[in-house]
Structure formats: C-alpha cells, structure tokens
Amino acid sequence: MRILLVIRSLVIGGAERQCAELALALAARGHEVTLCTLGAGGPLDSLLHGGGVRRVGLGHESRLSMVRTAFRLRRLCRDWSPDVIYSFLTVANLLCACALPRASRRRLVWGVRASWMDLPEYGWFSRAVLRTEAALASRPRLVIANSIAGVKHHVSLGFPAGSIRCLENRIDLRRFTFSADSRNRFRDALAIPPTRTVIALVSRVDPIKGHDVFVRAVARLSQDLPDAEYWCVGDGMPALKASLIRLASDLGVSGRLRWVGDVMDMAAVYSAADVVVSASRSEGFPNVVAEAVACGAAVVATDVGDSARIVGPGGRCVPPGDPEALAAAIVGVLREGMRERSAIRTEFVRRFDPDILLERHERLLTGVAEDDMTDG
C-alpha cells in the first residue's frame, strides 16, 4: 500500500513525533511510505534516516504561499498516486481537503488531536481556522482522533460521528524505556546529584500547557520539598516564556526552576526525573504522559482528555488550573514511595500495546484504500 503522510513540519512536538514514528512503523511492515511536510521539516527528520521512508518538502513559507503549496501537493498526489493520504493537524487537514480533487478525497484521512481548546488564547485567525476545519469535516473519508475525549469533542463541533474513530497514539517501546545510564548521563550534564529529587514538566511553551500553574505549584512546594529541583523541558513561544520567567522571579523560585529547552532524547529526561508532570488545560492523548509511563516514571497529570486512562496506578490526576492540588499530588506520590518502574511499564503495555495499535492503524488505512470501512 502506498501511504502519503502530510504534516506542517517535523519540529519537536507530540503530533510530529507520532507522524514520524508511524511512518517508520508502516514502512517496516512493507508499505511504501512518503512523509510530506509543507515546509522544510525540522529536528525530527533525524528519526527517519535509514528507515525506508521517502521525505518530501513542499517549500511552504507563509500564508501568502499557500496557493503554491496547494498546487505542489496536488502534483505530488497526481504523480505518485498514493492509496491513502493521511494528514495530521488542522493546517495540513485543511490543505488536503481544499487542494485535492474529489476522487483523491475518497482516500483522505484526517488526524485530529485536540479535546478542547481555550480559543480566546489563540486569536481570531486560529479560531477561524478551527471553525473552517469543522465545516469541511465531511470531506475526508475517515477522521482519526487519538483519544476518546477527542472523538466526543470533535463530534460536538459538528464532525460526522459515523466517520470518526478513536485510535490512541502508538509509543515506541524500544525508544521509550528506562535506562539507568541515560539517567546518570543526563543528570551529570546538568550537574544534578544522583540523590536529588527532580520534578519535570515536559511540554512546549504554550498557553494551553499550564506552565503558569506549574510555576505556582513550585512556589507552594518550597516547604515540603526544600531540596528538590524543578525542570521545564521544552521550548516554544518566546514572549510567554519570558513572562513565565518573570512569574518565577516574582514568586521567588527562579533559583530552583531550570529551563532545559528542547531535548531530542526524551527517554533520558523521563529516566532522569523522579516525577514527570503534565499541567495542561487541554489534551487529547498526551504523548508526554504516555512516554513517561512507558519509561516507568511516576506521573502527575491534570485530568484532561484521556490522561487519567494513561497515568494508571503509578501516578495521580488533579483538576486543571489548580496549583495547590498539583503540588499536593506531587508530594503525595513522593511520600507514598515510588513503585517499581518495571511494574508501571508493564501495566501501560497491557493497556496500550503498540503492536495492536499499529495493526489497527493498518486496518483502518487499508479500509480507506479499498473503500471498505468495516473496522469500527
């Protein structure tokens, strides 16, 4: 089967990593896979080297070049004639829905990720784009949401209920596993003693990810965990990051909060941290939570999207936007005593076996290619 995956870029992000890893997994199953980015790509291109995945970039530069990008995508599909076209996230979804002829849209699959978004945070353009996506949701043959919460959310927006399926993100267990050597190397690189407690928030810097809640929780943890260190792993909006640094200074926790930035080897981060935190106001199937649990880490997450399904017995969920609850949950997990990482990982694999998820992906895409949508 010829499968064309389309995504805006391969910058470091959850959907981007999922797209790249799915491309590799499908290629390993013998499919002919092309991964197309609208622009140049990004750091996650490195994951594809030697994996049998063809890479194409459409040279997209800005909103003004969208028409040219659309013609290039249309030509790529005409020349290569994929059996399935699988786009990820709103911009790529809309481009495929508008640029492809009706016959090609019979082979189009959309990938959606959100379960709820606080739209005023993102401005009028983002709101308009998301509303347009909902208006065009009948054009793809199939829509794949990565969470139960995401299915419900998109149906509430007007997506056709009969063409949307839930298929959770597939975590590469070879890549995401605990390593004592990686833990020690990562801590050594940051001059962190082996015995110091580390609590790490892992996410891009974005209003929806709750960094402000985490910073306020750190301020509340000063008495309970006086020797702990706190990391913010990931990068993003510079202006927002600057305001968060000012907030940390105002609360007197700048010296205990380290901004680590983007990291390619995320398994090393999950291995090095004692507690991994997700403070998001909204999620679908959060990769950070799933990857951390696959590495056997204790996770404290906000109860949004499908986070509670993923966290399992090794961690806790708290209401979003509540720094006191977040701080109390972190203390509670540490004081209860850490479960064996192998036990946390085994329970995760039982619920989200990547081989089973890959087979389901393959069946759904095959059903679209053969125009036989029988897999529910």
Q: Is the pTM of this model over 0.95?
A: no
| Residue 374 forms part of a structural domain | no
pLDDT above 80: residue 374: no
Q: What is the average pLDDT across 265-291? A: 95
CATH number where 268 lies: 3.40.50.2000
Cβ within 8 Å of residue 361, ≥6 positions away: 22, 26, 167, 170
Do the domain assignments include residue 225? Answer: yes
Q: Are 277 and 302 in contact (CB under 8 A)?
A: no
Tell me, yes or no, whether 76 and 206 share the same domain.
Answer: no
> Does one domain contain both 136 and 267?
no
Domain that holds residue 274: 180-351
Q: Cα–Cα distance between 318 and 301 in angstroms, integer?
A: 6
Q: CB burial class (10 A; 0-12, 13-18, 19+) of residue 258?
A: middle
The whole-angstrom separation of Cα 207 and Cα 204 is: 9
CA dist 216 and 236 (Å) reads: 19
Within a domain: 277: yes
Where do we find the tokens 């696959």?
294
Contact call for residues 142 and 163 (beta carbons, < 8 A): yes
State the total domains in the chain. 2
pLDDT of residue 63: 77
- Report, in angstroms and rounded to the nearest whole number, the Rg of the chain calculated over CA atoms: 21
Query: Is the residue at 375 inside a domain?
Result: no
Give the whole-angstrom CA distance, residue 281 versus residue 326.
13
In this structure, the answer to whether residues 99 and 221 fall within a common structural domain is no
Domain shared by 33 and 110, yes or no: yes
Same domain flag for 148 and 245: no
Residues 157 and 259 in one domain: no
User: Residue range 48-76: average pLDDT?
Assistant: 92
Measuring CA to CA, how many Å separate 145 from each of 15, 93, 217, 236, 373?
11, 13, 31, 24, 16
Per-residue model confidence (pLDDT) at position 122: 56
Q: Give yes or no: residues 257 and 308 share one domain.
A: yes
Residues 261 and 339 in one domain: yes
Per-residue pLDDT tens over the stretch 215-271: 999 999 988 998 999 999 999 999 999 999 999 999 999 999 999 999 999 999 999
> Are residue 124 and residue 242 in the same domain, yes or no?
no
Residues 308 and 327 in one domain: yes
pLDDT tens-digit profile of 115-143? 765 555 556 666 778 789 989 999 999 99
pLDDT at 375 over 60: no
Could you say which DSSP state residue 168 is in?
P
